[in-house]
Amino acid sequence: MNRPLKALFPAFPLGWLLLTLLGSVAPVTAQVTATLEIDKSRLLPRETFVARLKIVNFSGQTLVFGEDNDWLQFEIETENGEVVPPIAEPPKVEGRFTVESSIRATKRIDLAPYYALEKSGNYKLTAKVHVKQWKRVLRVKPVKFSVFNGSVLWHRTFGLPVKEGEPAGQPRQRRYVLQQAKNLRMMTLYARVDDGQGRRVHKVFPICPMVAFNEPAAQVDPTGNLHVLCQSGARTYNYTVLDPDGKIKIRHHYQIVGSRPRLDFKDGKILVAGGLKLLRPDDIPSREKDADQPELILPKKATQPIPVIREPVPEPNPNRLQR
């Protein structure tokens, strides 16, 4: 004879009984959380796009991740729900690491080389984390971002110099492009390095904040490096040197003292003339030696001695009447 469920458990209200039964089968994955974070929510096309996955473990067990390249999977969709196909898959996330209980771990990866985010619009980034020990999948809350176009200020196509030991042949082309775009209510100067036709983009990244009333100066030296001098404040300048792979080789800062900093050419090299060179912790390469002192570079006229000017003395008047 079938008896009502309430008669079988007279001491428990039916609502509490259902919650107890559901709680008993709740997955252990609820004690492990994964969240996605991105450095910026507004990007230029093909700009460096760093995503951070944070894993927090309160399961009481030590979890192992990264033993293969499938434990973390990403997906990007447009605002219309269309999936953006990767141009190189999957992203390189392999690398074994452990997360002990009550510990948080962070995995960083640049997604720009794997997705051709070239069209302006709104996008959504999602991720799945595979917990191999439990044969479960952690779904991560998606994050939204947008891609927008900047204004091109300058561009130059050049041939890469032949390296030592390489056979001479058809020169390989590269192109530097300087763009300006407003990011976080601030005008920012970006550099783009591509193959000259725009089909393969090597890197897009911000160089420095910039003022809107003074365009940057740029020159390419015989080795293929790009020298950029940009006014970043009312009296400050940023000097950056990039190589053809988009790596920053030099980053210095100058202040207007005596004269404005400017790009100059001397002894076959491009350098900065004028202004006061500053020492800052974000310089590349780092200058932490105590002996390093700011160097004041003044124009030639300013270094000449200042003439001594005496107060004029009136000459005696011979026609003055003597008493």
Q: What is the pLDDT of residues 46-103, one digit of tens each?
A: 898 999 999 999 988 999 999 999 999 999 999 999 999 988 878 889 899 999 988 8
Residues 217-249: pLDDT tens digits? 999 998 899 999 999 999 999 999 999 999 999
Residue 312 covered by a domain: no
Per-residue confidence (pLDDT) for residue 318, from 0 to 100? 59
Q: List all residues 6 or more positions away from 231 whose beta carbon is below 8 Å from its beta carbon.
A: 210, 211, 214, 216, 237, 238
Residue 223 and residue 137 in one domain: no
Measured distance CA(189)–CA(242) in Å, rounded? 14
Residue 117 covered by a domain: yes
Residue 120 and residue 200 in one domain: no
pTM, full prediction: 0.68
Per-residue confidence (pLDDT) for residue 91, from 0 to 100? 86
Residue 128 and residue 221 in one domain: no
Residue 199 and residue 90 in one domain: no
Measured distance CA(6)–CA(13) in Å, rounded? 8
Q: Could you tell me the residue range of the domain that residue 179 belongs to?
A: 151-160+173-302
Measured distance CA(217)–CA(231) in Å, rounded? 9
Residue 56 covered by a domain: yes
Per-residue confidence (pLDDT) for residue 243, from 0 to 100? 94
Residues 274-314: pLDDT tens digits? 999 999 999 999 765 544 444 444 455 444 554 554 555 56
Residue 53 and residue 89 in one domain: yes
272-282 burial, b at 16+ Cβ within 10 Å, e below that, comes to bebbbbeeeee
Beta bridge partners of 150: none
pLDDT confidence of 26, banded at 50, 70, 90?
Answer: very low
Per-residue confidence (pLDDT) for residue 87, from 0 to 100? 86
Residue 141 and residue 275 in one domain: no
Residue 116 covered by a domain: yes
CATH number reported for the structural domain that contains residue 117 in this entry: 2.60.40.3880
